[in-house]
């Protein structure tokens, strides 16, 4: 159909797949790529086109979104897109840090491809519900052109500037706050549990008071219920905290509190928890405190 826009999506993982699903629409010719063929099958079954390589996608897609696990992978993928005759906008959804996005932008610019730094926030649940907060920085025309498609994926777009990398800094600010809120909530609730306070009573009170946060509203229930399935891994939080602390160091901003918080995520990684849900950190803190932040079961 001549009125379709060809859009590519690379990286169909825990976050990428639900975002790409929101681009399955009559006015979009969706192309997908993932190194795992099984990740592409649900999309091709619904009319998307599987591309064998990123380069093949760049030959057909005007816009390509990428959602990838590391800066190294994002840069390697971007390098394969430079010869694509159709590609005009590259949108980096991954959290890979300012310097990596700047390198990608510099790589693509001589080929007439605009790089829009476009990280997201809201977790897997937000990706599935279409409620993600979308960030954007880059050349104004490309940012404006990308915005309608971002709003197919998420709920709101925050424009942070005209330089790729500025949105990455905003994402790191957000994720440093989130990671710190997770660790402080787990420690504070462990103290309350050790003192004999009921977990549900603590949660209700905190969410009615000044200690409330997204963590107490959405994450703590996973711990109290014993499910430990918020949806993001320890490795993801450790990566984002590491990027954030590195960015702070490059800017000469002291991070006395957040550096200590970062050590907790690094410790969790060293204990073999990289692929575990981020709520696993609560188990570690419970072990140190010799307590349990849990709702009593019927048997109890």
Please indicate whether residue 171 is annotated as part of the active site. yes
The single residue of 29, 103, 171, 239 carrying the catalytic annotation is 171
Report residue 161: phi and psi, to 5°: 155, -175
CA-to-CA distance for 296 and 205, rounded, in angstroms?
18
DSSP β-bridge partners for residue 136: 159
Active site residues: 171
């Amino acid at each position: 159909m001549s009125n379709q826009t060809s859009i590519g999506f690379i990286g169909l993982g825990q976050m990428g797949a639900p975002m790409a699903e929101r681009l399955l629409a009559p006015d979009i010719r969706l192309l997908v790529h993932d190194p795992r063929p099984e990740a592409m099958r649900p999309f091709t079954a619904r009319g998307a086109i599987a591309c064998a390589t990123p380069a093949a996608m760049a030959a057909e897609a005007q816009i390509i979104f990428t959602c990838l696990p590391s800066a190294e992978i994002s840069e390697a993928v971007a390098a394969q897109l430079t010869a694509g005759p159709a590609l005009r906008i590259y949108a980096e959804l991954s959290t890979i840090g300012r310097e990596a996005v700047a390198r990608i932008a510099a790589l693509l610019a001589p080929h007439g491809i605009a790089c829009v730094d476009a990280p997201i926030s809201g977790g897997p649940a937000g990706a599935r519900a279409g409620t993600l907060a979308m960030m954007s920085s880059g050349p104004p025309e490309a940012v404006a052109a990308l915005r309608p498609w971002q709003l197919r994926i998420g709920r709101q777009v925050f424009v942070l500037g005209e330089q790729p990398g500025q949105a990455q800094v905003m994402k790191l600010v957000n994720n440093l706050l989130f990671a710190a809120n997770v660790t402080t909530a787990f420690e504070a609730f462990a103290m309350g549990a050790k003192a004999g306070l009921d977990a549900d009573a603590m949660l209700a009170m905190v969410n009615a008071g000044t200690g409330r946060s997204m963590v107490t509203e959405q994450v703590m229930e996973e711990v109290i219920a014993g499910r430990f399935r918020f949806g993001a891994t320890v490795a993801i939080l450790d990566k984002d905290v590491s990027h954030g602390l590195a960015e702070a160091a490059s800017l000469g901003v002291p991070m006395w509190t957040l550096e200590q918080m970062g050590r907790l995520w690094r410790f969790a990684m060293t204990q073999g928890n990289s692929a575990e849900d981020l709520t696993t950190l609560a188990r570690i803190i419970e072990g140190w405190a010799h307590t349990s932040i849990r709702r009593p079961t019927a048997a109890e």
